[in-house]
A and B are shown apart, each in its own frame.
Chain A
Amino acid sequence: MKSAVDPGNYAHSNQPVLEVSGLSFQYPDQLLVLQKVDLKVSMGERIGVIGPNGAGKTTFFMLVCGLLKPVAGKVRVFDKPVVPRDFRPEVGMVFQNPDDQLFCPSVLDDVAFGPRNLGLSEDEVNARVREALEVVGVSDLCHRQPHHLSGGEKRLVAIAGVLAMHPKLVIYDEPTSNLDIRYRRRLIRFIQSSQEAMLIASHDLEFILEVCHRVILMDNGCVIAEGNPKEIMGNNELMEAHGLERPHSLIPHAELHHRR
């Protein structure tokens, strides 16, 4: 069994990569979806975002990326305010469904999409594409058509497409969904070896335990708890009160809970 991530084991810098303060959001004619969320993420830090469906995790990510405009509060990335619709290449997001971000006829074209939009020369684009594909380990897929790939391959190619832009903060929305065990393990190893700061939303709590330094628990648009993944997720009462349950690896095995 893999051990949980050491909370202190990441490069720490004085300047936070991401600063969110008092962030609130509401869709037109609806109740508040996000209420006064505060968060700071440092360089290289990996934050797990857990919570039941409808907690506001994806909406939170959309606000951090500038795809939605908050009704209150601020989001700053590298001390610059995030302006809605403004392009910030230092923030990348891997969507829950990789089909939503694989839209070019070949893997090569898809990974090159972001660097080309940055206005880089063709040589620089090619170099970034090669590097991103190698880092993720999918160089052999470069001439394949994305819609012919397996779920795991699509996920890795989607990650390569984001990494080619050299982001400093990467947001993952349910990255292990629809992945088989092999690709899940591959993704875990990849994330553990990455240097970027990350926000990772997932219902796969064992995955969060393995890769994240810190966890925030969200429910009804609020941050309910924040801290060490083992402590937060090991608190059975807290987890069950918010539609979750303690990961199996955190259940003390002195308790007889198997019927066999």
Chain B
Amino acid sequence: MIKLQLDAYAHLNTILHRWDPRYKTIGLMALIFAFSFVQDLRLLPFMVLTTWILFVVSRLPLSFLLDRLRLPAYFLLIMAVLLPFLSGETVLFEIGPLAAKEEGCLQLLVITVRFICILTVAIILFGTTPFLTTIKAMHALGLPFILTDMAFFSYRYLYEIGDHLKTMERAMKMRGFQGRGLGAIGMFASLAGTILVRSCEQSDRVYKAMSLRGYGRPRCFSEEFQAGLRDRIGLLIVILVAMVFAGLQFIIR
């Protein structure tokens, strides 16, 4: 089963968990952007080292990380299958009529390492803070409330949809549905459509309930974040690291 919950270990107590969520968001997002610029193979080990240090400090379990990397990894798999055979000129090895090229393989290596490092840092960002706190931090940083609310409710109701799906699958199984063969595709399509319609109707009811409790009026948010010197130093360090990566890549290029 694909695991979705990001903040299961947000209750731990590490430097990263205690870091002010606003500064953590800025710092780690800057690092993610810096990683996305990296093209040179020589920078990859340092990227891996930085990511590994952050992961060890966060004390998030490896199984937690691997579970959350599983779904995005399927997209990487598609790249892994195609890129070495489509990109480059220097042939490394051949599999029948297909020739794997050195440039394609190296590109795949860069993409894979970047992919894993970026996702790991993102999982650390969301895994070390309760999701609602992350949303509040984003709002405190200036993200419009409509976007933060959309993010929050999407996350919240993913679980509801998951529960509905489970219940309906159980009901189908109890009426003999095996889920095999081409005929099952139509059934799954109906299931998906029903879930969509029910979610839409529920969201309408939820919105009505929210309106009755004042949602949509201008809100005054009290500033609930209070950053200290350590938070600022942490931000400075991470921003410097991000700048080093981006700077080195720029120079090397």
**Interface of A toward B, CB cutoff 8 Å:** 62, 65, 67, 85, 87, 89, 91-93, 95, 97, 99-101, 103-105, 109, 113-114, 116-119, 121-122, 147, 161-162, 165
The 8 Å CB contact of A67, one of B153, B208, B214, B216, is: B208
Q: For the complex, is B226 an interface residue (Cβ under 8 Å from A)? A: no
Inside 8 A of B212's CB, which chain A residues have their CB?
Answer: 65, 67, 87, 91-93
The 8 Å CB contact of B210, one of A65, A103, A105, is: A103
Q: Closest Cβ of chain B: how far from A122's Cβ, in Å?
A: 5
Q: For the complex, is B180 an interface residue (Cβ under 8 Å from A)? A: no
Q: How far is the CA of A104 from the CA of B132 in the complex (A)?
A: 9
Contact indicator A117/B215 (Cβ below 8 Å): yes
Q: For the complex, is B88 an interface residue (Cβ under 8 Å from A)? A: no
Q: Closest Cβ of chain A: how far from B147's Cβ, in Å?
A: 17
* Proximity string of chain B (108-145) to chain A, C-beta cutoff 8 Å, 1 when within and 0 when not: 00000000000000000000001110000000000000
Contact indicator A67/B211 (Cβ below 8 Å): yes
Q: How far is the CA of A123 from the CA of B222 in the complex (A)?
A: 11
Q: How far is the CA of A92 from the CA of B208 in the complex (A)?
A: 12
Residue of A nearest to B204 (CB): A100
Q: For the complex, is B248 an interface residue (Cβ under 8 Å from A)? A: no
* Proximity string of chain B (191-213) to chain A, C-beta cutoff 8 Å, 1 when within and 0 when not: 00000000000100110111111
Known contacts A95-B205, A100-B206, A119-B220; A161/B213 CB under 8 A:
yes
**Interface of B toward A, CB cutoff 8 Å:** 130-132, 153, 156, 159-160, 163, 202, 205-206, 208-217, 219-220, 222
Q: How far is the CA of A62 from the CA of B160 in the complex (A)?
A: 25
Inside 8 A of B163's CB, which chain A residues have their CB?
Answer: 147
Contact indicator A118/B214 (Cβ below 8 Å): yes
Inside 8 A of B220's CB, which chain A residues have their CB?
Answer: 119
Q: Closest Cβ of chain B: how far from A191's Cβ, in Å?
A: 19
| Sample of 9 A–B contacts (CB below 8 Å) | A67-B212, A87-B212, A91-B212, A92-B213, A99-B160, A109-B132, A113-B210, A114-B213, A119-B217
The 8 Å CB contact of A105, one of B130, B211, B216, is: B130
Q: How far is the CA of A165 from the CA of B206 in the complex (A)?
A: 17
Known contacts A105-B131, A117-B219, A147-B159; A165/B213 CB under 8 A:
yes
Q: How far is the CA of A65 from the CA of B209 in the complex (A)?
A: 10
Inside 8 A of B211's CB, which chain A residues have their CB?
Answer: 67, 85, 87
Nearest 8 interchain pairs by C-beta: A117-B214, A101-B209, A114-B213, A100-B205, A105-B132, A122-B222, A67-B208, A87-B214
Inside 8 A of A116's CB, which chain B residues have their CB?
Answer: 219
Q: How far is the CA of A165 from the CA of B211 in the complex (A)?
A: 13
Known contacts A85-B211, A87-B211, A114-B214; A119/B206 CB under 8 A:
no
Residue of A nearest to B218 (CB): A119
Residue of A nearest to B132 (CB): A105
Q: How far is the CA of A104 from the CA of B153 in the complex (A)?
A: 9
Q: How far is the CA of A235 from the CA of B163 in the complex (A)?
A: 44
Q: How far is the CA of A119 from the CA of B217 in the complex (A)?
A: 9
Q: How far is the CA of A165 from the CA of B210 in the complex (A)?
A: 13
Inside 8 A of B156's CB, which chain A residues have their CB?
Answer: 103, 105
Q: How far is the CA of A244 from the CA of B212 in the complex (A)?
A: 31
The 8 Å CB contact of B205, one of A97, A122, A162, is: A97
Inside 8 A of A101's CB, which chain B residues have their CB?
Answer: 206, 209-210, 213
Q: Closest Cβ of chain B: how far from A196's Cβ, in Å?
A: 15
Inside 8 A of A104's CB, which chain B residues have their CB?
Answer: 132
Known contacts A105-B131, A105-B132; A100/B217 CB under 8 A:
no
Inside 8 A of A161's CB, which chain B residues have their CB?
Answer: 213
Q: Which of B202, B208, B222 is most buried by chain A, counting CB atoms within 10 A of its CB?
A: B208
Inside 8 A of B215's CB, which chain A residues have their CB?
Answer: 113, 117
Inside 8 A of B222's CB, which chain A residues have their CB?
Answer: 121-122
Known: A101-B209, A103-B156. 6 other contacts (CB 8 A): A67-B211, A95-B209, A109-B132, A113-B213, A117-B219, A161-B213
Inside 8 A of A113's CB, which chain B residues have their CB?
Answer: 210, 213, 215
Q: Closest Cβ of chain A: how far from B134's Cβ, in Å?
A: 11
Residue of B nearest to A164 (CB): B213
Q: Closest Cβ of chain A: how far from B210's Cβ, in Å?
A: 7
Q: Closest Cβ of chain A: how far from B205's Cβ, in Å?
A: 4
Q: How far is the CA of A133 from the CA of B22 in the complex (A)?
A: 31
Q: Closest Cβ of chain B: how far from A69's Cβ, in Å?
A: 14
Q: How far is the CA of A105 from the CA of B130 in the complex (A)?
A: 10
Inside 8 A of B132's CB, which chain A residues have their CB?
Answer: 104-105, 109
